Every structure is written in structure tokens, then in C-alpha cells.
Amino acid sequence: MKKRICILLMICSMICGAMGCGSKAPEEPKKDTEQAEEASAPEGKKTLTLAYIDGSGEEKAEDGWIWQMAMNTYEKWDKKDEVELELVPYIGTESDYFTKMALDLSDKSTAPDIFYEDSFRITVDSAAGYLAPLDEFLPKWDTWADGSMIEACKEAAAGMDGSIYGIPLATDSRGIWANKSILEQAGLSADWKPATWEELLEGCRQIKERCPDVIPLWYTCEENSEGTSMNTFEMVLYGTPDHLFDEETGKWNIRSQAMLDSLNFFKTTVKEGLTGSVSEITNTPNALNYAGEYMRSGKLAMVLTSTAVPNAFFQPGASFEWEGWDEELALIPMPTQKGDLGGSVTMSGGYTWSVSQSCEEKELAFEFITAMMDNKEEIVSYMLKCGQLPTVDVSEAANYQELSGRPFAEQSMELLENAQYRPHHEKYSEISTYLSQMANSVVCGAEPEEALETYSQAVISIVGEEGTQSLAE
């Protein structure tokens, strides 16, 4: 069967900052260069469209990670002769993808049947009526109930109403990647693990003093970016007792001392020259690409990001191919503010497969999703390429040893023991925009107190005074 692929090229270049799948991004924005062709399924066949963000680069559509997983599953699917599968990869930034999908999902004529959905979008998209609940189909899939899927990932796929709106595909953890040689040159041991924020900052100061040509610590702080919210700010904030949302009171925390302390952490890194140039760490979409090149060339000591990044950036054939990177780098847990609360913190997220409410063949779409999830060899191949972690047990896959032997696989999983998750609230997506703006403004020179107040007022405008609590009172 002819494999049809509908390619929609969005502006900008691809970088999965929230999930950590890196790719080389072109410097100039891209215009639509290829439009989806109108095509109907052969007579007597049903059609399923599957949309996703392609992290493998715009020149590799048919070699892309998800393309291979979907088509290799489709070729073996027992309903292949009854169904025509159309793939719709989007090339662009994560935020562009979210915007594009929201537009497509709002119109039945453009909504895909199946699509790749960031778990933090589940609550807002389900509340908007874009997603089909999958509860009635779940009992037909053994994997959901037999304990082979990570429970926290299943919970992340639930909407505010408790229904399940996605099948989790991948998850990840976050930490500090460090160049061991630079740590040793600075008088820190190769296995150095700071216990508090202050110990981390002191280590940065020591690196700056003894290795003046090296950037001590990198993080991305792009404006209006979920990557900034999750990979950067929340990785610091969630090392304190106060988080963004109080699950017990059901209110959003504002004017929090913990938030102010977190902002001051970033202010310190900029003020003391412990991080990269503001123009580069805030650059969309290249902030993480700069880190990849600087780390590879020995000009960067540490970067706070997803554990998926090195595998995606440095492996053979990747954007910043680096032979021996796994011997040169160490994975350091992000310390909590005072060394308490378990000693370290990681934010965890992930992508799911969701079904559009506009899909006319919802059960069929669910069956194809589970066929992909049950194709364990393809799941492993996908994880090997993008660097993420599987949500299901893949230990019986023929290629499992490749995954279990992947550099830092065990350490990445261990970080999940202290994992924190973004607020499971339909307003998080909107509030996150202001969260990233707050962090970005401080890095760009705003005073933390002013930035926090601006954020607090924005949250009030979204959920009302009654939906917030000021922890400064």
C-alpha cells in the first residue's frame, strides 16, 4: 500500500524544550513549503489521520521517530486492509504546535483523528471539548489495568472531570548535566553533588574563578515557553515547600516567598555572571542549541535540562554529535533549596496519544493507539532516538538491552523517585505563559518583587481573587 504522508511545515524550527527532544534548528523562519494533499481513502476503506510534532528535522519526515513507529505498526496491524493511515507531522516550535493543534481541533474539518498531546494540555483541551474520553475503551486493553504502565503517567492523562483523555507514550526527568573534566579543573570532584541551592551557586562561583573561559551554569529562559516554566523555573521552585497550586485548598499560590527566593536564584546567576549571555539563554528557538554546542566544545560546565537532551543531541547522527559524551558527562540531581524534601527535585511530564472529539471512528483510533503501544520493539526504538523514558513495561522487547544499556538510563529513572508534576488544572496552560514571562523578565533585568507582583495580578485576572491565596500575608 502506498504510504501517504501529509506534511505541514510551520514557521520556525523544532526544539522540544518541554519534553527534551532536541534537533538542529535553522536560523531563519520557515514558510509553508508543502501543503497537505486532498486525498480520499480507497473505496471501502476508512481513514485515520494522525498528527504529531516531528522532532527529527524537516528533511527527515519519512525517517522521523514517530513516522517509523506509526508506519511500522501499521504495516503489521490486523486492520491494515480496512484502514488508510495518513500521517501529519508538524515542523515548528512546541508553542507553535500547541497553537496549530488548538486551531485544528476547534474545526471538525481540520481536526485529526489521533494526535500527539503534551500531558499538560490534557486539562485545557478536554475542558474545551476537543478530546474524546477513552474510558469506555480502556477495559479492552490489558496494559491499562495490569500494572505495566506507570500510575503517575496515567493520572497525568486525566481531565478535570476524572475521565482519561490520552494514552501516555513517554515521560522524562530533569537534572543538571555536568562536564566532569571542568568540575575537576575547578577543584570540584567529578562526582560532585551540591546539597542546596547555595552549594550549587558556590560551585558556579568556583568554576568562574578557576575556569574563566567557561560558562558555569546554563538554563533556558525563553519568553512564553513551557520549557522555561517546567525545565527552568519549576525545577527551582519545586525544591521549596510551596508550589504553584495548593491541592488542598484548590487555590493558586501568589506572592509566595518561595517564588521570590526562586526568582532571586536566577537573578544571582545573571548578576554574578554565572550563566550564559542573556541574549542566548533567552533566544527562541536556539537557547538549548547554544548549550549543546558549548557543552561539546568544553565552554560550558553545567546545564539544567531534561535527561533526554544528551541522547537526542550528542548521539551519532544527531545535531551535536559528540563521541564519548557519555564518558565526559555526569548527571547531577537538582538540589532543593535547603537540602530537605528528599534532597533533590525533578519535574516530570510527557506526551500522550489522544483522540479528537471530532473523530468519527473513535474506537478504531483507540485500537490503533494501543497497537502502537503494544509494539514494544518500536516503543524502545522511539525512546532510543528521542532519549525519553517509556511509560509501559518494555522489558520483554527484543531490543530492550539497547535501552537498558543506554547511558544514564538508570540514573534518569532514579530521579523520578522525587518527581513533581505540573498542576493538574485546566488553567495551568494559560498561567504557565505568565510564569515563563516572569522568569524571563527577571533574567532580562526586572526586579524579582516587581516580576512576582505582575505574575500574581495575571493569575488573579485568570482565576479571580477567590481562586488565589497570597502566601506573603
Q: How far apart are CA 45 and CA 40, in angstroms?
A: 9
Q: 313 is written with which cell numbers?
A: 543531541
Q: Hey, how many other C-beta atoms are within 10 angstroms of the C-beta on 384?
A: 17
pLDDT of res. 300 = 98
Question: What are residue 215's phi and psi, to 5 degrees?
Answer: -80, 125
Query: What is the average pLDDT across 300-323?
Result: 92
pLDDT at 27 over 80: no
Q: How far apart are CA 9 and CA 13, in angstroms?
A: 10
Kindly state the percentage of the chain with pLDDT values over 70.
Answer: 89
- Contact (CB, 8 A) for 373 and 169: yes
pLDDT at 3 over 60: no
pLDDT at 424 over 70: yes
pLDDT of res. 152 = 86
DSSP 290-356: HHHHHHHTT-EEEEEEETTHHHHHHSTTSTT--TTHHHHEEEEPEEPSSS-TTSEEEE--EEEEEEB
Structure confidence by residue, pLDDT tens digits, 252-298: 999 999 999 999 999 999 999 999 999 999 998 899 999 999 999 99
Average confidence score pLDDT of the chain: 89
Numbers of helices and strands, H then E, in the chain: 20, 18
Least confident of 51-65, 294-308, 368-382: 51-65
Q: What is the dihedral of CA 39, 41, 43, 45, to 10 degrees?
A: -170
Structure confidence by residue, pLDDT tens digits, 205-233: 999 999 999 999 999 999 999 999 999 99
Which residues are paired to 50 by β-bridges?
Answer: 87, 114
Query: What is the average pLDDT across 101-109?
Result: 96
Least confident of 197-201, 285-289, 343-347: 285-289
Q: Which residues of 171-197 are buried (b: 16+ CB within 10 A; e: fewer)?
A: bbbbbbbbbbebbeebebeeebbbebb
**CA 245 vs CA 116, 297, 468: distances in Å:** 26, 40, 9
What ranges in 120-196 are assigned the alpha helix state H? 122-127, 142-145, 151-156, 180-185
Dihedral sign of CA atoms 283, 285, 286, 288 in order: positive
Position with higher pLDDT, 294 vs 150: 294
Beta strands at 389-390 and 167-171: parallel, antiparallel or unpaired: antiparallel
Structure confidence by residue, pLDDT tens digits, 319-333: 899 999 999 999 999
